[in-house]
Structure 1
Amino acid sequence: MRNFLPHIPEMKLKQLQKWTKLRHEQLSEATSITTDSVVDFIKRQIVKGNWREVEEVLKGKPLTATGKLLFSEMRNRVIGTLMLRLGLRRVVALAIALILLPLILAKISGETISRLRK
């Protein structure tokens, strides 16, 4: 599936929509659900005291074992949430998560950094 998806994020979303045959509204809802799931997951992890791992994941460098575990747990929760709330098949939810997670994490980390600079 990775060979099927282009490297440009906008093209990835268009190709994903074409491949999964999702309507634009469904893809928008999937984006919203994924964003909410990621933000909720990050907040819960920070409350638990895993702020270093969250910082590594937001920086895009989950190099430690704990950071990898945190990222995979986040991905699995997003996939499960997409499956439950939208009734998607696992492979479609996985494809959506693979494309949207890096984009959403980059957006969240950019917003966080800009807030800290102010």
Structure 2
Amino acid sequence: MSDCIFCAIANHEIPSEIVYEDDKICVYKDLAPQAPVHVLMIPKKHIANLDDVTADDQELLGYMLLKVQDIAKLMGIENGYRVVSNNGDDAEQTVKHMHLHILGKRKFTWPPG
């Protein structure tokens, strides 16, 4: 999608601190981190949010969830981490490209503040 900032990051059109990349996903540091480790995992395929996922995306989403543990290890997270996906306006999804926040290296509370 031509006007999507996350697509531009995945296509290396906008500089970002990428920590992992392969043919399916791009993982980079969040610009406004909410924890000592805060990275975003985005699929290279543009999917606006979880409501736009189709059966064709099942393999990609499973791949992303399996990669979370690898990214946590890569980022040195040892005592647990939080994975968040904001979906839609009420959840404060500010970029309409599905993504996972992976946060770690601090104690999290529930419910989140």
What TM-score, normalized by structure 1, do the two folds share? Answer: 0.37
- Which has the larger share of helix? 1
> Radius of gyration: which is bigger?
1
What TM-score, normalized by structure 2, do the two folds share? Answer: 0.38
- Which has the larger share of strand? 2
